[in-house]
Structure 1
Amino acid sequence: MAHKYLSDTIGVSTECGLSIPVVMAGQVLPYHKGQWLFSVVDEQQQQMDIMLLQGNRTRASDNKLLGNICINQISDVCRGVPSVRLSLSIEESGDLLVSAENLKNGLIRRMRTQIETSDSSIAKTKELVEDIRFKEFAKAGTLARKMIRSNTRTLSRAVRIDKHSANIERQMHSVMSELEQIIQAGSDLQQLQLRMNDLSQLSLQFHFAAYTNPIKAT
């Protein structure tokens, strides 16, 4: 009996535009085993938008967008703690069913769509040079976003700072804005690393100023 296979990898997009595989190309169909846990990237996050992709490229935007599932009411969840369970099944016909369960309240959102299948189990998964480079960029971008969130929290808690500290704060906001633009552009790793170093230095200066001129926290 001839089998059907998944022609291209099914993945989900990360906040920095990286496509993370969940079912690899060449998988024999039907497939009913998929179940993954997702956590928030920011503890202030109110919802999670899961983008489903089909394709073998590292950059999410280089793959076909199958659809997305938006999960609401996920506030008050700690980073690293699973908040959404994703289940996935694929029929030989190419019928894809995705379910996302909010682990906080049990609500389930579903998405159904058609995907490409193949009569061959040979996967077209050769990694291109630009994919390798983007993977490096995405890792740095993820770290940059963590730095931005951490420094944003620090600045939001600071009140009644002196003029010197206020000047550093303005520079930090400017650099963080530049970092977001570089991450969105998704290509200049060197510039991203330079701005991350700038933010790190400014953060140290701000903390030093706060130590010599104590800041009242809310």
Structure 2
Amino acid sequence: MSLCNIIKVWLKNKQIYFQLINALYDIFIAGQETTANTIIFSVIYALNYPEKLKKLYHELDKVIGSDRRITLADRNSLPYCNAFIYEVQRLVNLLPQNLPHKLTKDVEIRGYKIPKNTVILPQVSSVLYDEKAFPNPETFIPERFLDSEGQPKRIDEFIPFSLGKRQCLGESLAKMELYLIIANFFNQYKLESENGSLPSMKKVPGVTVQPHPFKCSLKKRY
């Protein structure tokens, strides 16, 4: 093999290496922190809304009733659990500013002309907190995602992962992780505030919002 070919192979492998590193970095930054913070806020909202937590425990006891591991096969049997998770995602509004995008061509929206190369920030917050779609939007109400018979209800304005071609690539993975971790966590542990002190529901601003530190007690349910 000539020196020229050796260099080409080396450069190609080096490029693949850096592509792999960047892909793993994206998965960790975009997937780990967002999912972890959402899970922590599920604990915060559960402690601040004990009547909702009681309903969640009731469904888990009725459907699961043991310390067995909850799987994806149980998902359709746990409508309130799913609604609980959806409301956590909506209320936490994890990425309030979304991510910037640049227009590749001139666009006109409702009479407003936006020129090519304009940087825009889609405001997912304005949708997740829209009072018409989500009455009393500042309150944690999982029931808003259920119909009168307690079955899942679709709400088109529920877009925590944004929408369109640029929506979150990890949506399916994140939904699966949130369901499996949150459902199993609450099934295994009884959650209680420490000394009657409730955790703050205020958020530390950032690219993704962060929870304020808090303490709580956990007791095995089985």
Pick the TM interval, shorter chain.
Answer: under 0.3
- Which of the pair is proportionally richer in helix? 2
Q: Which is bigger in relative contact order (C-alpha 8 A, separation at least 6)?
A: 2
